[in-house]
Homo-oligomer: A and B are copies of this chain.
């Protein structure tokens, strides 16, 4: 029977392990999985597009495990009290195809996205980066700040959002954390002196959140919010100046900032940076971009990580969402619950 993890179970796991420790563990799992990249059966996620959003399925597998995530991206959802990004997913054993865990993944996506940003920044940004500009203080903002502080060494976050309420929410949530917070009145102000610029906006459109004027030698751009056809954050005329790494080229061509580039422009995948075959940053002057769209391997990593914790710590509950009957060739008898014979007889 598959383990079922709902919101309160993930809350309990974070409370038990601690968010900082959990981020580190997810990063470790990311490093392990990106390190065995070629052993995965990969494909771009499937997307069903609606006027106001998209629903995506993100499957991936290696010889031992299979995972998928269901995720919605509906930027107008907050107007109805719902999240722009909400998700759930499953981890399954390859040998039988049976899920071993079905889990909420809204919180897990926020965690793995931030963990992936840090994982990429370790490969792409100057290691002495200490100041981060954060453009967009929606749901992902605290996770980015938390992860970059704890797992990278950022000590100052300069933040800006078009929505003052979102800025206040962010400041309130991060109060008490050992992180210097500087609220800014514009993108330009937020970028002043930033070693890393993280863009985490939600609008489904081609926006120029940052442009050529934000190109500063040595700067690393962590582009998180552009993740859909027609949804980008960087001015296309700055891309040629950046050394770019993506997660998975076939998907990023469709969804990433690089959708603005000719399809034959060479790009580097993150795993190639990790294994040393294609370094991206070769000097402190290089300007780099992690063109993040979110790839299935990151969900695979976080699900593996959480499954280990949940199994060891007895979190969640056993579910019959997927089940094995007493006789694997006898599914029909599963319907022979007490009330059934009467109904059938009365037919």
Partner of A57, one of B4, B57, B95, B329: B57
Residue pair B48, A165 in contact (C-beta under 8 Å): no
List the B side residues contacting A260 at CB < 8 Å: none
**Cα–Cα distance between A163 and B327 once the two chains are bound (Å):** 14
A84: B residues at CB distance < 8 A: 328
Which A82-100 residues have C-beta < 8 A from chain B? 82-84, 86-88, 90, 92, 94-99
Return the contact of A334 from the options B11, B41, B50, B61 (Cβ within 8 A): B11
The reply to whether A330 and B74 contact each other, CB–CB distance below 8 Å, is: no
Instruction: Specify the main secondary structure of chain A where it touches its partner.
Output: mixed
Kindly identify, within residues 297 to 347 of chain A, every residue whose CB is under 8 Å from any CB belonging to chain B.
319-325, 327-335, 337-340, 343-344, 346-347
What per-residue 1/0 map shows which CB atoms of A26-55 lie under 8 Å from chain B?
000000000000000101001011101111
Query: How many residues on chain A are close to B (CB under 8 Å)?
Result: 97
Smallest CB gap from A165: residue in B? B329
Which A residues fall within an 8 A CB radius of B?
4, 6-8, 11-12, 14-21, 41, 43, 46, 48-50, 52-55, 57, 59-61, 63, 66, 68, 70, 72-74, 77-78, 80-84, 86-88, 90, 92, 94-99, 102-104, 106-107, 110, 137-143, 150, 163, 165-166, 169, 173, 177, 319-325, 327-335, 337-340, 343-344, 346-347
